[in-house]
Structure 1
C-alpha cells in the first residue's frame, strides 16, 4: 500500500498558485501533477502549463479522455452542455481523473488530492470523494490564503498570471458556456477559428432539434454582427465605469486591484475541475 499526493491543474490561476505553494512549503511530498486535456483548451493554457512545468521541475501528466467531445456530443443526441447539464465536466474531466486513479485506489493505495479552493470561497466545495481511500485536501482554505494571496504567490514566483486573464476570466474550453458576452467577442477577435468551431456546434445542435445557444438569448451568429459587437463593448465599458466609481483603491496593493470579469458580472458557479 502506498500513499500518493496528486494535484490537478486547470491552466488557471488558483491551481497554478497551489502547485507553487505546495512545492515551496511541502518539498518533502512527491507530488504528482496532472492536467485533464479536453482537446478544446485555449492555446494560452498550454503555454502556461509549459512554463509551470519548468518552474516545478516535474512533469505534468496529461490525462486525455478516451473519448473526445464529439463522441459525447453524439451520445447526448447533439444536446450541447450547459450550466444545468454539465456533461462535459463529467465525461471530459472527472471521468478521466477517476479512470487514472481508481485502479490504484482499489488495490489499496491511499491518495490525497489537493484542490485550490481559496479561503475567500466559502461558497465552494471541492470534488467529493466517492472512494474510501481518496481524501480531498484544501490547503489554501486551511492556510487562510485568499485571491490576493494567490496573486502574490504567482508574482513572487516569477510566473505571473496566465496571459488569457488579459481578456477572459477563467480557463477551460474555448466554447465554455460560462463566458460572458464580452468574452465571446474577445474570443472571436483573438481566436476566430475557435469561435467558428463553437458556432458550428451551435448550428449542429439546432439542426438536431436542440435550440440551445452558448450565450443566453442569442446565437453566436447574432452576437457576431458588427452592431451587436459594438453594443456589447459599450455595455462592458459602462460596467467598468460604474464599478470604478464605486470601488475603493487599496494604497497598499495598487497593482493588484484590477477589475476582472467576475467583478463586473458576478461570480459564476463554475466547474472547479475546469476553472481553478
Structure 2
C-alpha cells in the first residue's frame, strides 16, 4: 500500500453528501469511511449512519476512543468542555483520527483525507496536520457545490437528511455546548433522558468549581423552568417571524429557515463535529 483515501462522517448532512458524491464520481478509489464515536451521540445519528452505509455498500468504521467522555471529564478536573476549552473535540474526535492514520503516515504512506467544506463556506478551513503525506482535499469547494447542492445529492441518492434536522440544527453530542437555547428545550422534549444526563454532568461540574455551564449564562436547571421555556420559545418565534417578514412572498420558496439564518454564522463551530 502506498496510498490511503479516508473520509470522516460526522453524522451531519455535508459529510454524508460528500461520501455519496465520492462514491458516485470516484468509484475507483477505495475510500475508507470513518466515524469518531463519543458514545454521547443522538440516536438519530446512528440511524442515519445505517442508511448511509446501505447506500455506500460498505461499513463506516467506528473509531471509538480508548477512553470515553467520563474518563476525560475526570482528567479535566470535572470542568465541562466549552467554546473556550474544547477538550471534547481534541480528545474524542481529533486524537482517535490521528491515532488511526498516523501509523500509515509514519510508514511513508500518503493519506488523502476528504473534507466536506462547501463552496459557500469560504470562512472554513480543513484539518491541518503538518504532515507532508497527510493531504486534505475539499471536493465540494473544487466542484462549486453549495448547501442546496448537498441537499440535492442526498435526496437524489435516496439517503435523505438526518431525522434530527426536524428539531435540531446539527449533529454532535447530545449536550453540545454550541446548541441554541431553543435546541436545549427541544432536546428535553425529544430525549428527556439525555437532557437529564446533561443536567447531571453540569451539577457535578459546578460542584467541582467549573466556571462553565452547558448553555451560556444559565444552568439547565434554570433553563428548564416552565416560565423560562416559554420565554425561549417566544424569543425564537420572534426571530423566525422577523426573517419571514424580510423575505419576499414566493409560494415556490422553501419556507424552512435554518438556525444559521436565525442566530448568525456557524463559523465558530467545530468542523470535526458539525459537518
TM-score range, shorter chain: over 0.9
- How far apart are the structure 1 equivalents of 2:84 and 2:250? 37
**Which runs of structure 2 are paired with 1:7-86 in the superposition (5 Å)?**
7-86=7-86
C-alpha RMSD of matched pairs (Å): 1.2
Shift of 1:249: 5.9
**CA distance 1:49–1:6, change in 2 (3 Å):** same
1:147-206 CA-to-partner distances (Å, cap 9, x unmatched) read 011011111111111010011110000000000000000000000111011111110111
- How far apart are the structure 1 equivalents of 2:272 and 2:250? 32
- How far apart are the structure 2 equivalents of 1:175 and 1:248? 36
Which residue of 1 is the match for residue 262 of structure 2? 264
- How far apart are the structure 1 equivalents of 2:155 and 2:234? 32
Task: Classify the secondary structure of the residue corresponding to 1:275.
Answer: coil
- How far apart are the structure 2 equivalents of 1:80 and 1:49? 27
Shift of 1:248: 3.6
Aligned length: 274
Pick which of 177-186 and 154-163 moved more.
Answer: 154-163
Task: Classify the secondary structure of the residue corresponding to 2:199.
Answer: helix
Task: Classify the secondary structure of the residue corresponding to 1:4.
Answer: strand
User: What is the TM-score of this pair, normalised by structure 2?
Assistant: 0.97
Gapped runs of 5+ residues in structure 2?
none
Shift of 1:26: 0.7
1:10-51 CA-to-partner distances (Å, cap 9, x unmatched) read 010000000011111111111110000000000000000000
1:194 maps onto 2:194 in alignment: yes
Which residue of 1 is the match for residue 273 of structure 2? 274
Task: Classify the secondary structure of the residue corresponding to 2:272.
Answer: helix
User: What is the TM-score of this pair, normalised by structure 1?
Assistant: 0.97
- How far apart are the structure 2 equivalents of 1:249 and 1:127? 41
1:67-117 CA-to-partner distances (Å, cap 9, x unmatched) read 111111111111111011100000000000001111111111111000000
Task: Classify the secondary structure of the residue corresponding to 1:113.
Answer: strand
**CA distance 1:236–1:27, change in 2 (3 Å):** same
- How far apart are the structure 1 equivalents of 2:66 and 2:94? 12
1:94 maps onto 2:94 in alignment: yes
